[in-house]
Amino acid sequence: MAGEKEKVVAAAGGCCLRPFSCEQGLLSRPDGSAAFLQGDTSVLAGLYGPAEVKGSKELPDRAVLEVLLRPKVGLPGVIERSREQLLRQTCEAVVLGVLHPRTAITLVLQVLSDAGSLLSCCINAACMGLLDAGLPLSSLFCGVTCALDPNGAIILDPTTRQEQEARAILTFAIDSPERKVLMTTTKGSCSVEEGPCFPP
């Protein structure tokens, strides 16, 4: 059995996703919740809304989407804020907010453990959370992190160690109907030829 699996891995050019699992509706208070685990990386998502908006953020034509990313240790900093922006705009592209004008949707993501590919795990948790809350969505999306190792080979869903060794790390969010790219962000530099490696 194990040998067979190795064969599959070898045939795929060493690319392999870690085992992943997901649990939805595990929290009682939020309107939607999901835990997403990729290997030892795990993120918990809780979502409230559409609900009343306080203050000046109210939009007359659509719902306000707010994403909060909570690190496990310490207070959220600049990295969290910039990831919140990435996640928010990714969700905004998919959530049909026009159906709930003048409301707020709050998505809170809590990092439970980080063992590499954290951002893609956040994206997946966010999508599962939106699904669990039953919000109207135009499509689903998933997050994938790819790393290019020093030899130029592609590693999917890298662990922390693989991320440290990698020459470049690319994270994509891909939508379900046409597999278009919703979000990308990169770390490290790579040539154009290596750039658009879109996983199936």
Question: Per-residue x/- mask for other proteins, residues 118 to 157, rule CB under 8 A?
Answer: --------------x---------------------x-x-
| Segments in 95-177 forming alpha helices (H) | 118-133, 160-165
Residues 154-183 close enough to bind other proteins by CB under 8 A: 154, 156, 168, 170, 173-175, 178, 180-183
Shortest distance, position 147 Cβ to other proteins, whole Å? 12
Sign of CA dihedral 93, 63, 32, 66: positive
d(CA 17, CA 55): 43
Q: How far is CA 169 from CA 101, 102, 127, 172, 194, in A?
A: 37, 38, 22, 10, 11
Shortest distance, position 198 Cβ to other proteins, whole Å? 5
Q: Give the CA radius of gyration of the chain.
A: 18
The verdict on 59 binding other proteins (CB under 8 A) reads no
Residues 16-35 close enough to bind other proteins by CB under 8 A: 16-30, 33, 35
Shortest distance, position 101 Cβ to other proteins, whole Å? 15
Shortest distance, position 197 Cβ to other proteins, whole Å? 5
The verdict on 3 binding other proteins (CB under 8 A) reads no
The verdict on 92 binding other proteins (CB under 8 A) reads yes
Q: Would you say 96 or 180 has its CB closer to other proteins?
A: 180
- Comparing CA positions, the residue from 52, 179, 54, 166 lying closest to residue 117 is 166
In the block, tokens 């063992």 appear at 115
